[in-house]
Each structure stands twice: as structure tokens, then as C-alpha cells.
């Protein structure tokens, strides 16, 4: 891949002053479940190449999924260069020292076959049936992604990571009642337990049967892993320097101010051992790092890529993420919530929410949200009673001012690393 990249950089420099080539090479094994059957299993391989050219402050970009068509992509990037508006903040990374990130590549992927993925999916199906539930959909995926980045400034780096994920949706029924539930797990290592994924989904579905109606009002709430991850997406977006600079973040001009409850610190850490978003460098070749966003409730900084760092007279934090079909954009790597204390879940009285539906409809600027609570329970000192139907509404930034951590273990769901979150009160509509 380096040979292809070096030739592409040389060719691109015929049209510009600076050039960059970003290459992704991915292999994926995927098995899909429909009802209680393995629907299909497949292996896919893909190579994608993104090319950027800079000249006189303008940037041209193009991409290709054909390694033999790099010259065409370079010419297309050069044509796009002519149509672009100049911006002095465009730039490329320079050679640097990169961190050694542990736990993001599992060599067992090299020996993995579709049959192994079929076995993992089959184990989930069998566990669901053993639990007396019915699978409706699910799957198992294993992938290896290799990234290469080269530019005219001397950067020439590569990294490799693996990812494994299992997910299952189930139904449980009794006396004419039917409930559904979902569970998933992801890891950089092949250490996923399919029986745990399936068993937890079934337990949640069974426990949700016979739900009762609840009165509307403001009550304490616990957001379990998936529910917390769903709502934290809006919160994390406010730390993007791009959103700050565009006036799309309530955290603009608030460095040094209190933005969460005391005792909470928030980090974005692209070097987290075994982190799903970890890598030695980001999509621009900037070294990954652990960035303090909030310390003990006080806002300390934002996430930057090279463009926003130049515009804001700051340093890139290694948050310029991308796919080969995209230019780098500010995004989280592993978004971590750390609390200086925890609250026992056994002492909690309020609504316990396993997951939420509609988190994507939250207002990304104000933080206002209204979501459906999936598999919710009223909790009273360790006793859980299923809730028939409930809506949660509020403002994520207000919730984070009065949030605490339960004493359950931290877990990564998507890009978020946290224990289930406890909030003092949220508006619940029964």
C-alpha cells in the first residue's frame, strides 16, 4: 500500500503544492440472523483511497475504490481544486512521535472463517431458544481495518485494528402478552460471549412482561448503558471545535466554567487500551492522545482536527476522523466519563431505562430531547417492576449538571465508556 500511496503523492504534486493520500483496506466476515435461522454469511474485502491536494489555500478532494484508478482520482481532485474557495486554515500533519496503543488488534482474526462466525451466531440462537424466547434478528461481524496515510510533508504511517460485534433482538411471550428486547456487545478482541448477549436480551424481554402504567411527573432516573450512550451523543457533539466555531454549541466561550456536576471528568482518549475508537493516529496523521474536556465539572477544552485547530489558534487533539470517501471531520474516539464516587444501584428509587428510541431527534444545539423509554422499570431499593410505556424529555446539558454514576462496572457501547448514569430528575410521561 505504501508503494501505491507514494506514487499517488508524486502524481498529485504535479497539480498542487501539498498532497495527502489516505488508504483504507478492510476485510469483513458477516453473518446475519433472521428469526431462528442463519440468513447468510459472507466475506467482503475492500480497498479505498482518498486524495487531497492543496494549492494557494484551496483544497481538492476525490476518492476511488479501485487501486488501479488512482491516477483518475488524482485528476478529479485537481479538477475539484479549481472549484474550491481558498481557506488559509487547510493543512496537513507533519511527522511526529506516535503512541503505542495496546489491545486493538487480535491476530486470531487471520485464522477466522465464515464458519466460525456462523458458529457464534448459532450459539446466540440456541441460547435464545433455551431461554424460551424467540430471536427476530441479529448477527455477528468480524473485521480488520488497515489504514495508511502519506503526505508531502513526510508523514508515512500505518496501523491495523480488529473489531468483533454480536447483536440480537428477541421476543418473549406469556398469556397473550409479548415483549421485545435487544442486546449487543463489541470488542477489538475475539472475547465476545454470544451466550451472554443472547441471555441478557432474553432476561430483559422476560422481565419487561406485564408492564404497568405510571403517572407523569419528574422523577429520578437511571440510564443503563444503551440509554446513556444514546443521549450522550448530543452531549459529546457540543465539545466539537467545529460546532463551537460555527455557533452550534452551548459550550462556546465557556472554557473555565462549570458545565457538569462536580466530581465528573470527561475525556476523549484515542489511546485507550482496547478502545473501539483507539489508534496511534487520526485520519490526518496527527498522534492520538487523551484530551481533558471536563475536569471536576469545569470545561477545559474542545476536540480539534487540523482545520479547527488552525482556525482557533490551538493544537489538533487527534480528532480528525474520516473514511476514505470523506475529508477529516471532528469526531470522538473513545468518549469517557469518570466520576470520583458512585451511588449504589440497590438504593435507587425511580425509573430504570434500558434503552431509548429517538435519541437522534434531540436538538444538537440546545440539547432538548424527547425519547421513548424501551424496557423501562420502576425501581425501589433493588425491586424492579416493568413499565408499560413511558416517554422521557428534558435537556441533556441540564441533566449532566446533576448526574452521578451507579456502582455498576464501566462498559463501552459505541464510542462511549461509562457506567449506567443516575440523574436526579427527568420528566416522565406515562
Domain that holds residue 272: 211-430
Q: Are residues 162 and 33 in the same domain?
A: yes
By DSSP bridging, strand 342-343 and strand 349-357 are unpaired
CB 178 within 8 A of CB 172: yes
Residues sharing a CB contact under 8 Å with residue 211, sequence separation 6 or more, in sequence order = 179, 386, 387, 388, 389
pLDDT band with cut points at 50, 70 and 90 for residue 21 = very high
Kindly report the CATH number assigned to the domain that includes residue 182. 3.30.2290.10
Q: What is the pLDDT of residue 200?
A: 98
Structure confidence by residue, pLDDT tens digits, 369-404: 999 999 999 999 889 999 999 999 999 999 999 999
pLDDT given at position 342:
95
Mean pLDDT over 134-140 rounds to 97
Domain boundary among 206, 222, 248: 206
Is a pLDDT exceeding 80 seen at residue 290? yes
Task: Judge if 254 and 338 occupy the same domain.
Answer: yes
Would you place residue 105 in the very low, low, confident or very high pLDDT band (cuts 50, 70, 90)? very high
127 and 90 assigned to the same domain: yes
The string of DSSP codes covering 274-304 is: T-TT--SB-TTSPBP-EEEEEETTEE---B-
pLDDT at 381: 84
The last residue of a domain, from among 150, 185, 206: 206
Average pLDDT over residues 161-180: 93
Q: Are residues 318 and 348 in the same domain?
A: yes
Residues 6+ away with beta carbon under 8 Å from 278 = 101, 103, 104, 161, 188, 269, 270, 271, 272, 288, 333, 334
Mean pLDDT over 140-153 rounds to: 98
| pLDDT above 90 for 306 | yes
Q: State the Cα–Cα distance between residues 39 and 125, nearest whole angstrom.
A: 12
Mean pLDDT of 90-101: 97
Helix (H, G, I), strand (E, B) or coil at 172: strand
> In this structure, are 393 and 414 located in the same domain?
yes
Distance CA 339, CA 405 (A): 6
- Structural domain ending residue among the three candidates 206, 230, 247: 206
- What residues pair up with 6 in beta bridges, in sequence order? none
Answer yes or no: is pLDDT of 30 > 90: yes
Predicted confidence band at 263 (pLDDT cuts at 50, 70, 90)?
very high
How would DSSP label each residue in 68-116?
GGHHHHHHHHHHHHHHSPP-TT-------------SS--GGGGG--HHH
What's residue 1's pLDDT? 81
- 118-133 mean pLDDT: 97
Residues 140 and 56 in one domain: yes
Strand 290-295's sheet: what is its strand order? 298-299, 290-295, 264-269, 335-339, 416-418, 411-413
The predicted pLDDT at position 430 comes to 85
pLDDT per position as a tens digit, 8-19: 999 999 999 999
Q: What percent of the chain has pLDDT over 90?
A: 95
Work out the average pLDDT over 281-296. 98
Q: What gap in Å lies between CA 322 and CA 145, rounded to an integer?
A: 13
Query: Does 127 have pLDDT greater than 90?
Result: yes
For residue 206, the number of C-alpha atoms closer than 13 Å in the C-beta half-sphere is 12
pLDDT band at 244 (very low <50, low <70, confident <90, very high): very high
Same domain, 12 and 139: yes
Q: Is 80 exceeded by the pLDDT of residue 175?
A: no
Contact 117, 140 (CB under 8 A): yes
* Section 170-197 average pLDDT: 94
**Within this chain, do residues 247 and 174 fall inside the same structural domain, yes or no?**
no
| Together in a domain, 195 and 255 | no
Inform me whether the pLDDT recorded for 174 exceeds 90. no
**Mean pLDDT estimate for the chain:** 96
Neighbours of 95 (CB within 10 A): 12
Same domain, 330 and 187: no
- Split into its structural domains, the chain has a count of 2
pLDDT digits (tens, 9 = 90+) for 54-64: 999 999 999 99
Pair (76, 115) in one structural domain: yes
180, 216: one domain: no
Amino acid at each position: 500500500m505504501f508503494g501505491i500511496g507514494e506514487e499517488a503523492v508524486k502524481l498529485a504534486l504535479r497539480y498542487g503544492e501539498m498532497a495527502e493520500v489516505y488508504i483504507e483496506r478492510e476485510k469483513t466476515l458477516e453473518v446475519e440472523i433472521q428469526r431462528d435461522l442463519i440468513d447468510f454469511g459472507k466475506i467482503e474485502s475492500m480497498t479505498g483511497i482518498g486524495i487531497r491536494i492543496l494549492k494557494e489555500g484551496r483544497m481538492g478532494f476525490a476518492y476511488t475504490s479501485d487501486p488501479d484508478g488512482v491516477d483518475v482520482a488524482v485528476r478529479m481532485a485537481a479538477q475539484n481544486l479549481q472549484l474550491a474557495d481558498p481557506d488559509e486554515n487547510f493543512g496537513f500533519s507533519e511527522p511526529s512521535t506516535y503512541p503505542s496503543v495496546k489491545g486493538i488488534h487480535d491476530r486470531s482474526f487471520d485464522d477466522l472463517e465464515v464458519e466460525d462466525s456462523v458458529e457464534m451466531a448459532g450459539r446466540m440462537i440456541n441460547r435464545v431458544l433455551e431461554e424460551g424466547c424467540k430471536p427476530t434478528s441479529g448477527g455477528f461481524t468480524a473485521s480488520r481495518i488497515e489504514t495508511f496515510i502519506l503526505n508531502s510533508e513526510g508523514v508515512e504511517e500505518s496501523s491495523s485494528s480488529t473489531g468483533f460485534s454480536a447483536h440480537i433482538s428477541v421476543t418473549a411471550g406469556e398469556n397473550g402478552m409479548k415483549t421485545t428486547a435487544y442486546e449487543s456487545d463489541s470488542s477489538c478482541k475475539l472475547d465476545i460471549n454470544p451466550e451472554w448477549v443472547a441471555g441478557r436480551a432474553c432476561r430483559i424481554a422476560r422481565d419487561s412482561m406485564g408492564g404497568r402504567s405510571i403517572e407523569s411527573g419528574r422523577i429520578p432516573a437511571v440510564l443503563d448503558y444503551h440509554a446513556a450512550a444514546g443521549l450522550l451523543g448530543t452531549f459529546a457533539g457540543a465539545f466539537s471545535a467545529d460546532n463551537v466555531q460555527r455557533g452550534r454549541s452551548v459550550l462556546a466561550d465557556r472554557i473555565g466554567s462549570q458545565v457538569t456536576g462536580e466530581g465528573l471528568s470527561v475525556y476523549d482518549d484515542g489511546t485507550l487500551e482496547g478502545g473501539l475508537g483507539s489508534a496511534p493516529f487520526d485520519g490526518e496523521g496527527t498522534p492520538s492522545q487523551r484530551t481533558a474536556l471536563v475536569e471536576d465539572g469545569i470545561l477545559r477544552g474542545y476536540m480539534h482536527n487540523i482545520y479547527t485547530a488552525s482556525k482557533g489558534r490551538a493544537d489538533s487533539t487527534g480528532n480528525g476522523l474520516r473514511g476514505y470517501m470523506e475529508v477529516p471531520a471532528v469526531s470522538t474516539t473513545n468518549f469517557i466519563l469518570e466520576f470520583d464516587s458512585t451511588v449504589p444501584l440497590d438504593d435507587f428509587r425511580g425509573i430504570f431505562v434500558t434503552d431509548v428510541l429517538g435519541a437522534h431527534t434531540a436538538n444538537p444545539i440546545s440539547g432538548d430531547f424527547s425519547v421513548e423509554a424501551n424496557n423501562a422499570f420502576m425501581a425501589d431499593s433493588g425491586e424492579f417492576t416493568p413499565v408499560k410505556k413511558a416517554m422521557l424529555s428534558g435537556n441533556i446539558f441540564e441533566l449532566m449538571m446533576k448526574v452521578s454514576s451507579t456502582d455498576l462496572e464501566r462498559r463501552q457501547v459505541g464510542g462511549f465508556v461509562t457506567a449506567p448514569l443516575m440523574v436526579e430528575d427527568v420528566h416522565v410521561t406515562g
